[in-house]
């Protein structure tokens, strides 16, 4: 039963947030990721119609997200306290020590 519930929440969270992301968002999304982002970036850079300078930072970005602000935004999207708790638990578990923002308080 635990695995069923875990899978249910995982897919519910994934589907819900995927509907909010822009198509140009590649991080931690099914069918996307760093390789797809690099391919898209290279394609855009080769297009002579694009006249913009682009700066990308895909290394260690997650450690620099303000987790308190993220939690407030998640709470603004979902009123389900268990869902918010699980999302923030995932954020906490994926946070690597060494980044500027550290948050190890209990959730």
One domain, residues 49 and 66: no
Q: How many CB atoms lie within 10 A of CB 83?
A: 17
pTM of the model: 0.54
One domain, residues 71 and 94: yes
Residue 36: inside a domain: yes
One domain, residues 82 and 98: yes
Query: Residue 40 belongs to what domain range?
Result: 21-59
Residue 82: inside a domain: yes
Res 33 pLDDT > 80:
yes
One domain, residues 67 and 47: no
One domain, residues 41 and 81: no
Residue of higher predicted confidence among 4 and 48: 48
Tell me how far apart the alpha carbons of residues 25 and 23 are, in angstroms, rounded to a whole number: 5
Q: What pLDDT is attached to residue 71? A: 92
One domain, residues 67 and 92: yes
Provide the token pair at 99.
Answer: 């980044």
Res 98 pLDDT > 60:
no
Residue 2: inside a domain: no
Q: What are phi and psi of 20, to 5 degrees?
A: -95, -20
Residue 26: inside a domain: yes
One domain, residues 67 and 105: yes
Q: How far is CA 96 from the centre of its chain?
A: 15
Q: Of all residues in the chain, what percent are helix, strand and coil, respectively (each to 5)?
A: 55, 0, 45
Q: Which residue has the tokens 């006249």?
A: 51
Residue 69: inside a domain: yes
Provide the token pair at 101.
Answer: 């923002």
First to last CA, the chain: 24
Give bridge partners of residue 97 from the DSSP assignment. Answer: 99
Res 60 pLDDT > 80:
no
Mean pLDDT, residues 7-20: 81
One domain, residues 64 and 100: yes
């Amino acid at each position: 039963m635990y695995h069923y519930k875990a899978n249910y929440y995982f897919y519910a969270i994934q589907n819900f947030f995927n509907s909010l992301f822009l198509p140009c968002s590649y991080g931690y999304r099914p069918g996307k990721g760093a390789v797809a982002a690099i391919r898209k970036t290279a394609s855009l850079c080769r297009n002579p119609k694009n006249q913009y300078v682009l700066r990308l930072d895909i290394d260690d970005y997650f450690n620099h997200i303000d987790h308190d602000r993220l939690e407030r935004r998640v709470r603004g999207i979902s009123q389900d306290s268990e869902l918010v708790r699980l999302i923030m638990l995932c954020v906490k578990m994926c946070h690597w020590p060494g980044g500027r923002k550290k948050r190890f308080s209990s959730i």
